[in-house]
Structure 1
Amino acid sequence: MVKRFKRQEYARYKKLGDKWRKPRGRTSKMRRYEAGKPDMPAIGYGSPKNTRNLHPSGYKDVLVRNLKELENLDPATEAARISSSIGKNKKSQMLEKASELGIKVLNK
């Protein structure tokens, strides 16, 4: 589970939203890591190396542009994401081939 860091004073102003921004103010309590303030991102919060950069399904996300690239995938560890520039006809062919080879397609 990845920790979601909150922006400084996100609760005070609705327009700020929850998206993280580094506090840069001279007197910022959050920047100075004072107690009672939200946590800031640090190296210790990193995800484990073996799960880093994986799709939530657990597969490695690989962009595929043609049938040859699709055939080179390892179905045990890699999942295909078909390029958006592929047309409807080619995409249907690629989906058929993927089901034959047992490859998971992330954007059907």
Structure 2
Amino acid sequence: MSDITRHHTTTRMSQIVMHNGTIYLAGQVGTAGASVAQQTQDCLDKIDALLAEAGSDKSRILQAVIWLDDMTDFAEMNEVWDAWVPEGAAPARACGEAKLARPDFTVEIIVTAAA
């Protein structure tokens, strides 16, 4: 049986869960009420920091799931995303529209990465 390591754990969730060389991050949101571009950048900055803490980086992301409050924000989010993803290391990705935890959140990003 492999060990499971959790970081930044509360009664509800962990920000990082590691198991068998795979890193799972909780959904990351940006500054509530900020522009879609700023919220996207905030999410990506948090992902960078959490992956570094787990001993990995964005070049090792296996999959990303992106939730937008409104798909009309797809191009604005993608502009920030495309500038952030390392060339040749784009993960498998899905993007959809969903109501987020609060109405002032417009972007949430969830990633799974290799250690």
Note whether the superposition's TM-score is higher than 0.5.
Answer: no
Task: Give the TM-score band, short-chain normalised.
Answer: 0.3 to 0.5
Structure that is richer in strand per residue: 2
Relative to the length of structure 1, the TM-score reads 0.34
The answer to which structure, 1 or 2, has the higher relative contact order (CA under 8 A, 6+ apart) is 2
